[in-house]
Amino acid sequence: MINATTISVPPIFSWSKIIDYLQRNEDEITYQITAQQTIRKAFQDNHQILIVDISFLRNKRQLCLQVINHSSASVTHEIIDYVCDWFDLKTDLAPFYEMAKKDELLAPLIDRFDGLRLVGEPDFYEALTWCILGQQINLSYAYTLKKRFVENFGTKIVFRKHTFWLYPQPAEVAVQDPEKLRQLGMTQHKAEYMLNISKLLVTGAIKKSQYLRQQTATKTEKMLCKLRGIGPWTANYVAMRCLRYGDAFPQTDAGLLNGIKLIQQLDEKPSKQQMRKLHQQWGQWSSYATFYIWRLLY
């Protein structure tokens, strides 16, 4: 392969489980998956857009990254870092699996989703706005809103008759009128939250780096909740999927509560006291426990 770059994957890794997760909604617009289980995604590289194929070399246990729309272009360090973060390749899951196999709630999930990594959202702006888009609506409609948002404010590139999209940039959204966002199907509050977050990132008032410096998800949650439109659920989601805090735990999340109820065959959702106990029990693996329970439902 010309200009191909490879990344070794950790021992606990399943490409098929990751692909299954990424294919859970047909309205996803920020990447495409081929019949050969190759991910195709557009990346901004200075003044050009690179379309990168990400495939799995099973015999070598490596991910192979290759630019397909520019014969002379190579995959940049920024793209490699993005992919490593996206699939959480640097986390050793052996301690989590050791703990989970002894946990009555998690043990059956380890067998079912063996090798699944906590698929993240490395881009801070995308993580924040995706959370806002998804607030208080079902997952299917959240993807519909995301698709409209990207198609209206993102950057499009057509290659081999296929359309690829770059996620919108804060500067593009910050100058919009709230009504433009409302026309996509957002509520007034949601449109205002999106604009506020966009403006804060444009001015540099908030940066991913300042939240990465915190030592726990609890500290990060308190900081994020100072932002308009960001509550405990959104803060924990971002801490979990973007900032990679292992102790992040959105304990009031409906999917998490319903998943636990389903696994334990409870008549009612677990109480706040039960959820606090689980958080203490899972500690730094609370994020992974949450992700695996979510995967049971969607």
pLDDT in tens, the chain (298 residues): 567 999 999 999 999 999 999 999 999 999 999 999 999 999 999 889 999 999 999 999 999 999 999 988 899 999 999 999 999 999 999 999 999 999 999 999 999 999 999 999 999 999 999 999 999 899 999 999 999 999 999 999 999 999 999 999 999 999 999 999 999 999 999 999 999 999 999 999 999 999 999 989 999 999 999 999 999 999 999 999 999 999 999 999 999 999 999 999 999 999 999 999 999 999 999 999 999 999 999 8
Flag whether 212 is in a domain.
yes
| 94, 11 Cβ separation under 8 angstroms | yes
The DSSP call for residue 91 is -
The span from the CA of 107 to the CA of 228, in Å, is 38
Flag whether 115 is in a domain.
no
141 and 204 co-located in one domain: yes
pLDDT value of residue 1: 58
DSSP string, 118-144: ------HHHHHHHHHHHTTS-HHHHHH
65 and 144 co-located in one domain: no
Flag whether 294 is in a domain.
no
pLDDT value of residue 215: 87
Flag whether 103 is in a domain.
no
- Supply the range of the domain harboring residue 220: 124-241
Q: 43, 73, 90 — which closes off a domain?
A: 90
Token pair listed for 7:
């990344």
Where in the sequence numbering do the catalytic residues fall? Answer: 253
pLDDT value of residue 2: 63
